[in-house]
Amino acid sequence: MPDRLVVLYRGNRPPATGLIERLADTVYATEEELPYLLPGADALLAWVTITPAVREAWPDNPEKAPRWVHASSAGVDSFLFPALVEDPGVTLTNARGVYDQPTAEYVLGLILALAKDFPGTWEHQRRREWRPRPSDGITGRTALVWGTGPIGRAVARLLRAVGMRVCGAGRTARTGDPDFGTVHDSATLRTALAEADYVVLVAPLTDGTRGMVDAPVLAAMKPGARLINVGRGGLVDEEALIDHLAAGRLAGAALDVFAQEPLPAGSPLWDMPGVMISPHTAGETTSEREALVEVFLDNLTRHIEGRPLRNVVDKRRGYVSGPNPA
């Protein structure tokens, strides 16, 4: 049994706390309490992950830092601070697998909503206006999925299933990929951007991806294309995106994540035509909490028994890069 497990929470504690407490000496900490409870803990379950609390509470003495941190999210950018990354004795795991299919379904829903202009239809309904009009199709349209991890693969498979043409963008160029067909690297990305009707961002936020969708990338996109971001807000230069939307080069965008969350009320994105905004909910479902705690309980059991953990993050890369142990 771990000497002490700290569970960082906000609002509601995770489900199945009884099971967790039977496996570990468990204490619960809010973000304000974490600096007092984290030092000396063996493990940390970060039930809330989009927060600077872990970085701010991390002990100065490495001997007082937890040896294992589990993030209940796919993205781990909040945990990639030097003291954690550079300590070889700290293992970081995440919730890879929980969000794959829900996010893919959400992306398909966004593409359909943009193509069929569902927001416009709902606005006409609100005004009691009868305004028949044609809409775009998605069969045969091209989607560039930027990010080739498990979530990107789930997105690619679902978009292919509805008749879209799909390609990927990642670190290594290749052909014959079972989900993406062709994966583009930086050498061929501009050509792919010029051909894509939808650019879907699902990449993790790392030093290498921060601000990757900047003004030159947006200018390279096909006129009339649409951008969908369900990855991290920091992937996009929001000011450049606003400029390109305002100029009419892009037909629209569906944005689930932002550089600052909640999105400030004064942001021009709220009122821009063709822009759909959602509050970082692309992967959330009614069964999400149970699925997240199931992943953690599996790893907690492995931790207690001394077996290899699943979903171990490559801290230098910022994501899980290898296969899971049995």
Active-site residue set: 232, 261, 280
State how far the alpha carbon of 326 is from the alpha carbons of 138, 310, 323, in Å. 39, 8, 9
* H or E element at residue 175: strand 174-177
Look at the block and give the residue holding tokens 């907690």.
Answer: 300
Dist. CA 190–CA 144, nearest whole Å = 11
Question: Residues 14, 20, 31, CA angle at the centre, nearest 5°?
Answer: 45
State how far the alpha carbon of 239 is from the alpha carbons of 211, 250, 259, in Å. 11, 14, 11
- Work out whether strand 252-255 and strand 275-277 pair parallel, antiparallel, or are unpaired: parallel
Dist. CA 141–CA 125, nearest whole Å = 28
Look at the block and give the residue holding tokens 């940390």.
Answer: 44
Dist. CA 177–CA 298, nearest whole Å = 31
Q: Give the residue among 57, 58, 66 at the shortest CA–CA distance from 83.
A: 58
What is the phi/psi pair of residue 169, to 5°? Answer: -135, 130
Dist. CA 80–CA 71, nearest whole Å = 11
Q: HSE of 75 in the Cβ direction (CA atoms, 13 Å)?
A: 24
Look at the block and give the residue holding tokens 């959330």.
Answer: 284
Token digits for 225? 């294309």
Rama region for 255: left / alpha / beta (φ>0; ψ in -120 to 50; rest): beta
Please give the torsion angle defined by the CA atoms of residues 112, 116, 117 and 121, in that order, rounded to the nearest 10 degrees.
Answer: -120
